[in-house]
Amino acid sequence: MRKLFGTDGVRGTANTHPMTAEMALRIGAAVGRYFRREAGGVHRVVIGKDTRLSGYMFENALTAGLASTGMNVLLLGPVPTPAVGLMTRSMRADLGVMISASHNSAEDNGIKFFGPDGFKLSDQAEMEIEEMVATGVRLAQAHNIGRVRRVDDARFRYGERVKSSLTRGLRLDGLKVVVDCANGAAHRTAPEILWELGADVVPIGTSPDGLNINRGCGSTCPRTAAEAVVAHGADVGICLDGDADRVIVLDEHGTVADGDQIMALLAARWAAEGQLQGGALVATVMSNLGLERFLGDRGIGLERTAVGDRYVVERMREGGFNLGGEQSGHIVMSDFSTTGDGLMAGLHFLGEMMRSGQPSSELVRQFVPVPQLLKNVRFAKGQTPLDTASVQSAIAEAEGVLNGTGRLLIRKSGTEPLIRVMAECEDEALLERTVDSVVEAVADAVQA
């Protein structure tokens, strides 16, 4: 079993195992050696980051580790995660690295890896790299140590790619847009792109100080943007997270639309135009049952995967699908990007507003969601509350109660020390009782 890697790379609190400078150095050396297994030729890696204070520390540690195995390192600076996937492929690099803990708070950080094709690494590759971290690697000879340089125009290259995904000639003239950049990686890129396309831009969350990423703003806290939408009389709000790989949309009243609603809009539109490859949308087990019914009514299939946008992408690649994502706002449009791209998805929503002439309030409500409740229980390192008999019993009882009327999903988060308990049911009172019964059992097991 993997010990370092979770569902989206290595993640944790900065300066606490495994997110220490020493471990980042070892990981850099291991992944560098992994991608230099074949001798000869020039080997290069691109490294991007978000705006966390600890990003400087990990950037330097990873750079040292990678260079020590002969990898030439290209530093992109603060860029969205999808920009790293793009630049890895366009610069013919062997490897891409993104230093970010995505939507987590500033004290956390993480390391995500992309292969030469711009896609995130497989579980098997991550397991092999973990083994190399544990056993150590052979370093390059002194004359073969890698070189390091900065790439100054990465965000501009990425911006052009994002704009090129839209219908040629599309402009956003007359559209007032609040864009919340979460004080993160897109704090300059997103407002610039919207302005270039003609929108009247109201930017918020664009003053990162290393400690305020995702704090009271962004896709995990859309209240700030919702207030700005109403106060400025904006037509729509776009909320990104710290590394801009997910998006939440707000209508002109400040009402929130999650990834399920955005995917429903895009899937229906693409299917009507014959652009939806494979006749299906790929989403995770967390997506609402209402989305599944909406798609079914239109003859569109729904392929469900484990939670994590890379599992969505793996299924898309296996089945030849070109649209997928997560309820949390990771939207993957594989015709244009190798991973979730919040800014790109947000622009396509704005494009649909311009094409249809409909207000955002008409587009954010594609289907009526089945009541869904999600609660989290935090646990300590080393605890395995889901393995206890009392929790197993509570889960079995809850599944029996919901049998035929809803569904229950309990899982361990791959990015935080949390047990997530989610259920769907038309009967909201029954829904709350069911979730609470499992949450109580998990909490008791944690405290025991």
Q: How far apart are CA 78 and CA 154, in angstroms?
A: 9
d(CA 99, CA 6): 14
According to the annotation, is 50 in a ligand binding site?
Answer: no
Q: What angle do CA 185, 186, 189 make, to 5 degrees?
A: 135
Question: Could you confirm whether 413 is annotated as catalytic?
Answer: no
Residues 6+ apart with CB under 8 A from 276: 267, 270, 300, 322, 323
What one-letter code names the amino acid at 346? G
Determine whether the annotation assigns residue 241 to a binding site.
Answer: yes
Indicate the length of the chain as a whole number.
448
Question: Is 54 annotated as ligand-binding?
Answer: no
For the chain, the distance separating the N- and C-terminal CA atoms, rounded to the nearest angstrom, is: 26
> 333: closest CA among 162, 135, 124?
162
The span from the CA of 110 to the CA of 123, in Å, is: 17
Residue 208 CA, distance from chain mean position: 20
Question: What gap in Å lies between CA 225 and CA 245, rounded to an integer?
Answer: 18
Q: Annotated binding residue at 243?
A: yes
Rg of the chain taking only CA atoms, in angstroms: 22
Residue from 68, 100, 102, 287 carrying the catalytic annotation? 102
Binding site for Mg(2+): which residues? 102, 241, 243, 245
Catalytic residues: 102
